[in-house]
Amino acid sequence: MTRRMLHILFLLAVLTLLTWAFWALLTPLPAVAKDWRAQAQANYRHACVHRDLLKAGHVIPPRESHGYYAEACRLDRYVQRTWQRIARPKVVSAASWVPLLRHEGWPESAIPRAVAIIRRESGGSPTAWNRGSDCRGLFQIMARYYPGVRLFDPVVNVRVALRLYRQSGWRPWSVQ
């Protein structure tokens, strides 16, 4: 390569980095629910249930047996990290909730339409709230029909939406 080509490549790399940095500064931060710590604990308890189910087939000896104990610790860390990625994605968009939809049992054939509904109703924000109709969360579930239910919790919202979908299809969201 000639010196001029190297200079051009260097300038392109610098321009790319500057463009990325400028774009990152302009991108709004995702909305975070106020009671996120309590929700994270509930999500972790739910993930522990899955961990225990995975462990049910294995007898884990006491701590002196480092191999099995290390395997159990790795499993704990894996479950915790995986659940955090599913229930609290870093980038909040409608498509980022697909792993949670799959985890909660949505049929594969219904997931594209569910993502479209999440995009239309809340834009992917679990803290979306229509104060006029008191609809909350990802699927904009009406709170008056579910008093005391934490609809801002994405996991609870997805479960309630799945129950509605199984009972009535797409009619609660005016989609045929």
Per-residue pLDDT, 62: 43
Q: Is the pLDDT of residue 110 over 80?
A: yes
Quote the pTM value.
0.55
Give me the amino acid identity at 77.
Answer: R
Token duo for residue 12: 């392109």
Of 56, 16, 33, 29, whose CA–CA distance to 129 is shortest? 33
Residue 170 pLDDT greater than 60, yes or no: yes
Q: How far apart are CA 138 and CA 133, in angstroms?
A: 15
Asked if pLDDT for residue 111 goes beyond 50, the answer is yes
